[in-house]
């Protein structure tokens, strides 16, 4: 399995419950290995590790945008 990393910024006002829901929702998807917020330094930065052969980065971003339409992908 290949892996790729992706960072997504969400609105800073997105509450902790919605951030946890987002982590769980993404982590349950085929091709997503891990999805977690950097709670201490950047609580609005979501790091996602995924298999690009199984799921596209833009598909992950669209899933996040269902909870936060202003979410944006950050280049790494």
Q: How many structural domains are present in the chain?
A: 1
CATH number at residue 45: 3.30.70.100
pLDDT of residue 73: 93
The C-alpha atoms of residue 17 and residue 36 are separated, in whole angstroms, by: 13
Strands, sheet with 32-38, edge to edge from the N-terminal-most edge strand: 32-38, 42-50, 4-9, 72-74
Q: Is the pLDDT of residue 13 over 60?
A: yes
pTM (2 d.p.)? 0.87
Domain that holds residue 69: 4-74
Cβ neighbours of residue 28 under 8 Å, at least 6 residues apart?
none
* Mean pLDDT along residues 15-29: 91
Quote the mean pLDDT of the chain.
Answer: 90
């Amino acid at each position: 399995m290949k892996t790729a990393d992706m960072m997504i910024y969400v609105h800073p006002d997105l509450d902790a419950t919605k951030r946890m829901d987002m982590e769980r929702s993404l982590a349950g998807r085929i091709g997503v290995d891990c999805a977690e917020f950097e709670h201490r330094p950047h609580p609005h930065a979501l790091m996602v590790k995924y298999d690009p052969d199984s799921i596209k980065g833009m598909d992950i971003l669209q899933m996040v945008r269902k909870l936060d339409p202003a979410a944006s992908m950050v280049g790494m």
